[in-house]
């Protein structure tokens, strides 16, 4: 065995750090969130919200579809009750995500798990669900999860800040109204592993993108439910 062979074996046997794995996995999704964040930030500015109100909503919700729906509801004259109802309907899927986080970190105290579940979003859940099927170490999982969360939040909130500051300076015709469904479709494409996942992703993506001009942000939960139902039908 040569020195070169030994170096290759050593490099291959070196475990990937959770932060490095998270950066590699998350980078495409963080980039895909930027146009979505621009759309939400631009909508917030157009609706007449103050910068403080817009950023408070972004940090409290940490859910782009629900935030966009809330902004559009306020912009059209809706009251707080209407905002709460719309955001609640869109975010029902996070109940499932919360159950997943509880399982991933079941060895941690309850107060820690409650803090960890707060920033979970669609991309976080998908990436961690896939990684944690193989990785059982609790410390590795925590570092991976927190790195993924930091990257996604930075991309989404940062792009909103930029769009809000630019306001009407954003070029027209960018097609930012399609940013959310396209980001969601890209996320689904990255999760496809077999026939069931393919059918689930295709049905969900078609509904989310096709209903963008009709259902608005509500197209996301409708697409998710329809996609999951189709996947269950195919696998049964």
The boundaries of the domain holding residue 209 are 177-236
pLDDT tens-digit profile, the chain (236 residues) = 454 444 443 444 445 799 999 999 999 888 888 888 888 888 888 788 888 888 888 888 777 777 777 777 777 676 778 777 777 777 777 887 888 888 999 989 999 998 999 888 888 988 898 889 888 899 999 999 999 999 999 999 998 998 888 765 555 544 455 555 555 555 555 555 556 656 766 777 677 667 666 666 566 667 666 766 776 676 65
> Are 130 and 198 part of one and the same domain?
no
> Are 210 and 162 part of one and the same domain?
no
On whether residue 50 sits in a domain, the answer given is: yes
Give the Å distances, CA to CA, from 176 to 16, 39, 43, 110, 204. 36, 5, 10, 39, 20
On whether residue 4 sits in a domain, the answer given is: no
Place of tokens 């794995």: 21
pTM here? 0.70
Q: Is 123 helix (H, G, I), strand (E, B) or coil?
A: helix
> Are 125 and 30 part of one and the same domain?
yes
On whether residue 6 sits in a domain, the answer given is: no
On whether residue 3 sits in a domain, the answer given is: no
On whether residue 12 sits in a domain, the answer given is: no
On whether residue 132 sits in a domain, the answer given is: yes
Overall domain count for the chain: 2
């Amino acid at each position: 065995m040569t020195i070169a062979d030994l170096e290759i074996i050593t490099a291959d046997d070196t475990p990937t750090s959770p932060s490095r794995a998270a950066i590699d996995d998350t980078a495409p999704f963080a980039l895909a969130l930027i146009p979505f964040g621009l759309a939400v930030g631009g909508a917030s500015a157009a609706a007449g919200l103050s910068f403080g109100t817009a950023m408070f909503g972004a940090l409290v919700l940490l859910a782009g579809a629900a935030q966009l729906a809330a902004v559009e509801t306020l912009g059209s004259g809706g009251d707080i009750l209407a905002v709460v109802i719309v955001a609640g309907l869109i975010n029902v899927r996070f109940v499932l995500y919360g159950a997943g986080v509880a399982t991933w970190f079941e060895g941690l105290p309850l107060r820690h798990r409650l803090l960890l579940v707060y920033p979970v979003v669609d991309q976080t859940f998908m990436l961690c669900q896939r990684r944690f099927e193989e990785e059982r170490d609790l410390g590795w999982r925590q570092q991976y999860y927190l790195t993924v969360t930091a990257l996604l939040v930075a991309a989404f909130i940062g792009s909103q800040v930029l769009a809000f500051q630019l306001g009407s300076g954003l070029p027209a015709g960018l097609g930012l109204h399609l940013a959310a469904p396209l980001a969601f479709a890209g996320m689904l494409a990255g999760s496809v592993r077999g026939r069931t996942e393919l059918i689930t992703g295709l049905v969900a993506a078609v509904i989310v993108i096709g209903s963008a001009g009709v259902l608005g942000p509500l197209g996301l939960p409708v697409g998710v439910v329809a996609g999951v139902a189709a996947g269950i039908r195919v696998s049964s």
